[in-house]
Each structure stands twice: as C-alpha cells, then as structure tokens.
Chains A and B, each alone.
Chain A
Amino acid sequence: MEHHDNITEVMGEYRAGQIGRREFLRRVGVIGLSSLAAGTLLAGVGRAYAQSPASGGTLVEGYDRDFSPIDPVKTAWADPAMNALYEPLVTHDYDGKIVPFLALAFNESTERWTFDIPAGRTFHSGAPVTADAVARALQVMISPDTGQNASFYTQVDKIAAEGEQVVFALKAPKHGLAEVLSTEYAYIPNIDRRNEIGAGTFGAQEADGSGPFKLAEYVTGSKVRVEKWAEYPGQGAPHFENHGPARLDAVEWVPILEPSQRAPEIETGSVMTVKNPPSADVARLKSNADLVVIEFPEPANFFLLPSMKRTDLEFDKVEIRQALSGAIDREGIVAAILNGGGEATRGPVSSAWRFYEPGVEAFNNYDPEKSAATLEAAGWVVGSSGVREKNGVKMEFTAIHVAHPIEIQVMAAIAAMFQEIGVVMHVESLEIAAFREKRPKADMFGFKWLWAVYADIVPLFIRLFQPNDHPDVAAILDAFKAWENSVSDDEMRAVTSKAQLLAAELAATLPVYTPNSVWVHHKKVHGWRPTPYGLYPFYNDVWIEQ
C-alpha cells in the first residue's frame, strides 16, 4: 500500500512539473520498479502532462543563418521571426492543405478570389487590420515596381477591398494563388507604418504585424527577440491547438553559424531548438533521450544550369546536356557528402511534392559509359591531354556556385565525375554577392533554390538564365505556363506532370539532390512543428515544460 502511495506521489510531482524526468526515474527506481515499467509509467504520465500546456518562458532557438530584415516586402531571405510577428491570409496545415489564417475564409473562382477579413483585429501598434489595410499591403507586393515576387502574380489584375473582403480580380485563372499567398513574402505588415519609417528601419528597428509576438530586439549577427503580444486575439486555423494569445513570454533566435557548434549548443541546453546540425551529428542527437529530431525533405533542389549560350561547347544541344547529366552519380553524392540526409533527384523537384511525377526517374540516371559514348558520337573526342575536343574547342569550362561547405564538396565531386568522361569543369566557389553578380554570364552554375511553390521557382531560373527563344527552353516554359493558369488540383497535377517530364528530359537544368531539413528540439518544448511546406513553425502553439 505504501509502495503504491509512493508511486502515486512521484507521479503527481512529475505531473505538476515539480520534478524532472531523471528524478522521476531515479525515485521510481528506488521504490523498486524495473526500468521497463518505469519507462512505461513515464510515457503515460508524460501524456497526461502534455495535455496541460504551461504558460511563460523564453524559447531560445539556434538558427543556421544570420538575420535578414524582418520585412515581408523587402528582404532577400525570410527568417523564422516572420512567423511570430506577422500573419498570412492563408497557410498550409500539417497535411499540406491550404487553410485560412488571418482570413476567416476564402473563396476561389476562375475570375476572382475573395478573403474574409475578421472585424476588430489590429496590428501591434493599434492600427486596425481592415480589408483595406490588407489590400494595400498586398498591392505593394504584387506591383512590379515594389514587389519582389511580382512575377508570381502576373495573372492578378488588381487587389481591392470590398467591405470586409479582400478581392483579387484575375486576368487569367490561378489556382496556385493561395500557395504564393502562404509564403512569408505575402505576410501582412502595417504598410502605412512601413511607409512612414521606411524600409530597412521597418523590419529591423521596428516591425508592425498582427502576429502573436511583437519585435523587442533585433541585433544583426547576434539575436532577434520577440515578446508576447498580450492583446493577440488568436486565429482560427483549425490545425492549431491554441486559439488565444501565445503561451510563451518570448522567443529568441541566436545565429549558430559554425555548424559544428549546433549539436553541442542543444546538448548542453544553451538553446532549446536548433536547425540543421551537420549530418555527422544527427545520429548522436537522435540517440539523446532528451531530444527530438525531425527530418523531412527541404522544399529545395540543388541543380546545375549549363548555359545554352555556350554554343561552342554545344550546351544548346540536348544530347550534350544529357551526357553531362548522366555522368553525375547523384546517389553517391547523397550517400557520401550528405551522409544519406537527402534525396537524389532526376526531375526538377523532390518526391516530397504533392504533384511529383515519378516518370522523371527514367531520365538523368548515372551511366558514365553512355555519356562518354554520346559525346563521342557528337564528335567530342578525347585529345592528347585527356580532354574531349571538337573543331579545336576543348570541353572545358568554369562553373560557379555559392561557397557553402556541402556545396563545395558536391561541386568538387561533380568536377571529378566529369573528368571521368573527359570533360573539365573548373569550379569557382564564391560568396553570395559575387555569385549573384557573375551568375548571368557563367558557363555553368550550381545553385540550391528554397521555395515552397515548386512550379513557380523551377521555370524562373530557366526563364532568367537560358535563352528563351531556344526550342527546348520554350517547350519547358510553355509547360509550366499551363500550370500557372490551371483551375483545379487535377489540372495542376496533369500539367505539372508534363512540365516535370519535359524539364527532366530536356535538361535545361541538371537536377542533383534535395537535402533534408533537420530540426532538433528538447522534449520539454511542445507544439513546435516545422513543416515541409513553410519550413518554420508557428509559435502560438509552442509551450515549454516548466
């Protein structure tokens, strides 16, 4: 009887958060429970405990990048603080389905989309979030003069407020509109305040959104801190648990730019979550009973783009591009360089996409003998120096890429693979500003895009960096254009299948791999759910065991 009372007492203390997991296990061990029984008991108690979220505390997150201005209108990179400060009209739920967020509901037709804006909402500053305020913010984002994503809204004729609705009038159907509106670059800021204080100041020294947290501190290279907005009325997206003000007092992001420090920082508790620890540390983190590792394919792809303007190298000919593609051992790269933390891709996107076309797997397979034979047949014969030549031109060129630790290795591996078929690729690793400057004129470049709307981003690179009058390019772009104008999921699936197959076969870009995105959090952090659709978690559900 006394034994039973003791266990109940320990369980009660654990449930109330008075003792931790280790102390729980120690005390039930003293009472005489086997470790197996103790573990089972703990799981049961933990479940009970997890049902009563606690309030308060600061979540400290280790971020794998330095900070960019937190301004949905003008920033080249969206940081996780966007999810705490602002709200999108719509978002993806955990199954990838588009659901309302700031909007109460939305309605789609081939000519117009409407979004119902809730009454009585305000920005942090107290300025009202009306349909008019939302429409004016979105007008800035879709205008080619001010919106960096304007090219994703070409089907939109105008955006206006009608009563409590924001209305998108369309020139052509755009079923994918909601996908673009769910990205950080369509989150709703107080555009009047932004105009008042100016871009740059807005998003760094001040931010005014309608999200559950307010910007408290932004120190470039050091930290970003947001604090709970007590007046946040909550939002209604069905997949969130908390529909009121945030549970956390604050969230703080610290940049951990040195990859080898990410695992030690979370293991010692100096941060509670961390993004993208090196793949070599992932197994160790997974074996840590205090941590949870979440891994999923990043909405990204690393690809090579051989410039079709290099007609002397015959990059304008599909068989040459295919020959280069066939020399790349994608599985080898994923296994050896990514430690298995990714997926070799043969089409322009990863298999995680809901519209992925498995037929692409018939293309871009590793076959160096076939590649060599194709080049030989095209007249590119191996010269005395071991390099293929044709009409006095050597198959030798320079490929540029961003100097990222993984991508440096990948490019070096690909150069070695090309060498095997008598093609010399010199690799130039550049910092991002230099890369962006040199990219338009590069013989070839390697780049990883990261964007949730795959069918928007894939043709963008081809449109910008390949000659649009080339028949292969035109064919791919036309196929993707059909995606932009599709009116239903079924039509989208059909047209994207065709576009993916064409992109894979015509090899205007050579897909290589999609890396996994790895997220680690302490078990005491609850409700923290990064997703493959928008990457960063929303913070209103997050709470910390006290």
Chain B
Amino acid sequence: MTAAAPEDVLNTGVGRRNCPTCRLAAAIARQVLYSLLVLLLVATVAFVGLRLAPGDVTTQLLDPVRTPPEQFAALRRELGLDLPIWQQFWNYLAGIFRGDLGASLLTRESVVAIVTQAGGYTIALALAAFAIIYGVAIPLGILAASLPGSIVDKLINFVASMLMATPNFVLAILLVNVLALNLGWLPVAGTGTWMHLILPAMVLAAEPLGFATRLVRTSYIEQANAQYVDTMRLRGLSEHVIRWRHIMRNALLPVVSLAAVQVRTLVGYTLIVETIFRWPGLGKRLVDSVLTRDYQVAQGLTILLALVVVVATLVSSILYRVADPRVRTS
C-alpha cells in the first residue's frame, strides 16, 4: 500500500475533514446558519410578544379619554394595525428580507435612520466600557494572581466584589454626586464631548469589571499551577516566556468567552445607564418604543440587539477556536 499523494487526500472526504481550515470554515458556516435561525426566532418572538401586550400606539397619538372611538379606528387603519395579524407578520418578514425595517408609527422616521443614529452612541458607550473592563481587569487580575494572599490581592478582590455587588443605579448616583456635583470634574449627563462618555462608561463597566478581574485572577492562578508549567520550567524555559507566552495565553481563554457573555450583559445594562445619563443610545430607544407600542421601532431594535449578541458570540467562538489548539483540532 503506497501513501496517497497530498492532492488525493484533499480530494477525499477524509482529507476535507482533516483540513484545519476546512473544519474551521465548516464550523463557522454552521454557526452562521444557527445565528440566522436565532435571529428569525427573535424577530418572531418580538412580533408576537409586542402584540400580546395590551394597548397599541394609537393611545400615544390620541388621548383615549378625550378622543371619540371612531378616530382610533381611523388611525389604526392609517397605520395598518387593522390588518389581520398574519398579514402584518407577513409584511414585517417581507420587509426584513428586503432590508426594510419600516418606519416609526409615532414619528414616521425610518427605523434604519433611528438605528444608525442611536447605534453610534451605543457602540461608543460599549467600546468605552469594554476598554475600561479589559484595560483594568487584566492587569489587576494578573497583579492579584501574582501576589496571592497578599494585601494587594485581598484589596483587589474586595474592590472587585464591591463592584459586582453594587447595583449600577446606586453607583451612578454615587459617582454623579462625587465626580460631577461635588468635584465638578465631569458633566452630570448628556452628550457633546468625550467627557460626557466617562461616567456612563464607568457605570456600565463596573459589574463586568469586577467579574472579569476575579476571573483573570482565578484563571491565571489555575494555569500557573498546571503541570505543563512545571514541565516547561524543567525544560529550562525562561520564567518570562512561561508567564507571558503560555500562562497568559491560556489564562485569557475564559476571558474571551466571557466577552461574548458580557456583550449581552452590557446590552441589558445600557437601558438604565442611558436613562440616567441621558445617553441617546439603543437601549433607551428600545424600552421607549416598547412602552409606546411603536412596533416597528421595537422590532427593529430587538433584531439589531440580537444581531449584536449573535455576532459577538460568533466572533468569540471563532477567536476561541483560533486561540485554543484543543478546540481547533477537536
């Protein structure tokens, strides 16, 4: 039996299965498909959920006490809310596939325009929060792990626990009073300069920061005590190489996974932070649109936020595969 030529291997199913790039591509394709399915499900749930809630947008446009019922009926006709529910759903799905998310029932603004406008603010806020979370959590976590049981370690752990335990609403009030009202270093709320971003980003980052710091510490200590580290030392690798190339790389793997989870957390927290700091992002717009039953906007934003989470999960999954050889070859 002679060994097969490389091109023969590639031409067989076995060869394709063994090709790392092919496996990665296939995994990504599967996940993309899965993500699309999730988005479709989210779109359906958003549509149904909003219509199950009592009331509709017409009571935002006309006062139900003062307005004759005929006007409500006319307005519902005008907005297409009198159509059978299946037809509304069909129109909605057809719109999504055309890339048309519709227009606000309240202001007739296109949902795409709303998303573009508010999305920029949310992205800026989330990026700033991520910068704070990982810019602070990784060095602090490593510092604490490098000095286990020391005062520094205990102090970092305490601060991390405090950040995790403090509700972001309370933290917001505290920071506003100290940094804005008493010290006058930062603006209380609003937009306009990069200074306006600091307080909301700090509040948004607080809890994930505490969690990430503890995770980095734990993960680093776990890796530092692993057998492969002793093996490397016995093989004469320098401490610098062991620490920064091997321990660090493995210690940060859970942090990569955590990032995807934290995107979901941040999306949830933006609502409170955006309301307190008058930050005109997506979270607040989403809740406003749900409360006012502005279906098109609520559906559009729900899909967008789901897309952000799905993409973050996808990216983190790919990064995980790239970073961890065990996952890559499995």
Asked if A297 is an interface residue, CB under 8 A from chain B, the answer is: no
Separation of A205 and B67 alpha carbons in the complex (Å): 24
Residue of B nearest to A465 (CB): B65
Residues of A within 8 A of B176 (CB): 261, 264
- Contacts A/B (CB < 8 Å), 23 sampled: A68-B60, A74-B61, A75-B61, A76-B62, A145-B70, A145-B71, A148-B63, A148-B71, A200-B104, A220-B114, A220-B288, A222-B280, A223-B280, A258-B276, A261-B176, A264-B188, A265-B189, A267-B181, A268-B184, A268-B188, A270-B188, A432-B55, A434-B54
0/1 string, A335-372, CB within 8 A of B gives 1: 00000000000000000000000000000000000000
Q: Which A residues touch B275, using CB under 8 A?
A: 257-258
- B156 CB to nearest chain A CB (Å): 31
CB contacts (< 8 Å) of B59 on chain A: these are 76, 432-433, 436-437
**Cβ contact within 8 Å between A200 and B278:** no
B55→A260 contact, CB < 8 A: no
- On whether the beta carbons of A219 and B189 are closer than 8 Å, the reply is no
For A260, list chain B residues within 8 Å (CB).
173
Q: Contact check: which of B62, B63, B190, B293 meets A433 at CB < 8 Å?
A: B293
Given contacts A148-B66, A434-B53, contact A265 B188 (CB under 8 A): yes
With a cutoff of 8 Å between Cβ atoms, the chain B residues found around residue A66 in the complex are 288
Does A242 have its Cβ within 8 Å of any Cβ on chain B?
no
Using Cβ atoms and an 8 Å threshold, which residues of chain B touch A461? 65
Tell me the nearest residue of chain B to A451, going by C-beta: B66
Which of chain A's residues 143-182 have a Cβ closer than 8 Å to chain B?
144-146, 148-152
User: Given contacts A432-B55, A464-B65, could you give 18 more A-B pairs where the C-beta distance is less than 8 Å?
Assistant: A66-B288, A69-B106, A75-B61, A76-B59, A148-B62, A199-B61, A200-B108, A204-B108, A220-B107, A220-B114, A257-B275, A261-B276, A268-B187, A268-B188, A270-B187, A270-B190, A433-B292, A436-B64
**Is B230 close to A, CB under 8 A?**
no
Q: Are B61 and A219 in contact (CB under 8 A)?
A: no
Residues of B within 8 A of A34 (CB): none
Count chain B residues whose beta carbon lies closer than 8 angstroms to a beta carbon of A: 46
Which residues of A243-273 are within 8 A (CB) of B?
254-258, 260-261, 264-265, 267-268, 270
Contact across chains for A261 and B188 when beta carbons are under 8 A apart: yes
Kindly list chain B residues whose C-beta atoms are within 8 Å of the C-beta of A111.
none
Chain B binding site: helix, strand, loop or mixed by DSSP? loop
Cβ–Cβ contact A432 & B291, under 8 A: yes
A219→B117 contact, CB < 8 A = yes
Residues of A in contact with B (beta carbons under 8 Å apart) = 66, 68-69, 74-77, 144-146, 148-152, 198-201, 203-205, 218-223, 254-258, 260-261, 264-265, 267-268, 270, 431-434, 436-439, 449, 460-461, 464
Q: Are B278 and A220 in contact (CB under 8 A)?
A: no
Contact, CB under 8 Å: B65 / A220 = no
- Chain B contact residues, CB within 8 Å of chain A: 53-56, 59-68, 70-71, 74, 104-109, 114, 117, 173, 176-177, 180-181, 184, 187-190, 275-278, 280, 284-285, 288, 291-293
Inter-chain contact B188/A220, CB cutoff 8 Å = no
Smallest CB separation, A546 vs chain B (Å): 20
Are A76 and B108 touching (Cβ within 8 A)?
Answer: no
Are the C-beta atoms of B68 and A150 separated by less than 8 Å? Answer: yes
Contacts of B284 in A (CB 8 A): 221
Residue of B nearest to A438 (CB): B54
> Which chain B residues border A218 with CB–CB below 8 Å?
107
Tell me if B54 and A437 are in contact (CB < 8 A).
Answer: yes
With a cutoff of 8 Å between Cβ atoms, the chain B residues found around residue A257 in the complex are 275
Is B67 a contact of A148 with CB atoms below 8 Å?
yes
| Complex CA–CA separation, A434 to B275 (angstroms) | 22
A201 and B61 contacting across the interface, CB-CB below 8 Å: no
Q: Nearest chain B CB to A268's CB is how many angstroms away?
A: 5
| CB contacts between A and B, total, < 8 Å | 130
B188 with A76: CB separation less than 8 A = no
The minimal Cβ–Cβ distance linking B187 to chain A, given in whole angstroms, is 6
| Interchain CB contact under 8 A, B288 and A221 | yes
Known: A221-B288, A270-B188, A438-B54. A144 touches B70 (CB 8 A): yes
**Cα distance A258–B278 when bound, in Å?**
9
Task: Report whether B109 and A205 are in contact in the complex, using a CB–CB cutoff of 8 Å.
Answer: yes
Which residues of the other chain, A, contact B61 by a CB distance below 8 angstroms? 69, 74-76, 199-200
Which residue of A has the minimal Cβ distance to B121? A222
Contact B278 A256 (CB under 8 A): yes
B196 to A, closest residue via Cβ: A270
Q: Within the assembled complex, what's the spacing in Å between the Cα atoms of A456 and B188?
A: 41
A223 to B121 CA separation, bound complex (whole angstroms): 14
Q: How distant is B180 from chain A, measured CB to nearest CB, in Å?
A: 6
B106 CB, min distance to chain A CBs, angstroms: 6
Give Cα A220–Cα B64 distance, bound, in whole angstroms: 22
Pair A204/B106 contact, Cβ less than 8 Å: yes
- Given the complex of chains A and B, what is the CA–CA distance between A431 and B59 in angstroms? 12
Closest to B176 in A: A264
Once the chains are docked, how many angstroms separate the CA of A77 from the CA of B180? 33
Which residues of chain B are near A267, meaning CB under 8 Å?
181
Cross-chain contact of B181 among A148, A149, A264 (Cβ < 8 A) = A264
Cβ-defined contact, A76 with B60, below 8 A: yes
Whole-angstrom distance between the Cβ of B37 and the nearest chain A Cβ: 31
**A433–B292 Cα gap in the complex (Å)?**
7
CA A260 – CA B171 in complex, angstroms?
Answer: 13
Known: A148-B67, A264-B176, A438-B54. A254 touches B278 (CB 8 A): yes
CB closest chain-B residue, reference A76: B63
> Are the C-beta atoms of B56 and A74 separated by less than 8 Å?
no
Nearest Cβ in chain A — how far from B64, in angstroms? 5
A255 touches B173 (CB 8 A): no
Given the interface pairs A270-B190, A436-B59, A461-B65, the reply to whether A264 lies near B180 with Cβ below 8 Å is yes
Q: Which residue of B lies closest to A440 (CB)?
A: B64
Residue of A nearest to B117 (CB): A219
The 5 closest A-B pairs by CB, nearest first: A433-B55, A222-B280, A204-B107, A437-B54, A148-B67
Contacts of A205 on B, CB cut-off 8 Å? Answer: 107-109
CA distance A255 to B285 in the complex (A): 13
Closest to B68 in A: A144
A265–B68 CA distance with the chains assembled, in angstroms: 40
- Report whether B62 and A149 are in contact in the complex, using a CB–CB cutoff of 8 Å: no
Q: Is the CB of B74 within 8 A of A433?
A: no
Q: How far is the CA of A439 from the CA of B59 in the complex (A)?
A: 13
Residues of chain A within 8 A (CB-CB) of B64 are 76, 436, 439
Q: Which residue of B lies closest to A60 (CB)?
A: B190
Give the residues in chain A near B277, CB-CB below 8 Å: 261
Question: When the two chains form the complex, which single residue of B74, B105, B190, B285 contacts A145, counting CB atoms closer than 8 Å?
Answer: B74
Asked if B181 contacts A433 (CB within 8 A), the reply is no
Taking CB atoms, residues of chain A closer than 8 Å to B68 are 144-145, 148, 150-151
Complex interface: chain A residues within 8 A of B291 (CB)? 431-433
A414 to B240 CA separation, bound complex (whole angstroms)? 69
C-alpha gap A161/B180 in the complex (Å) = 56
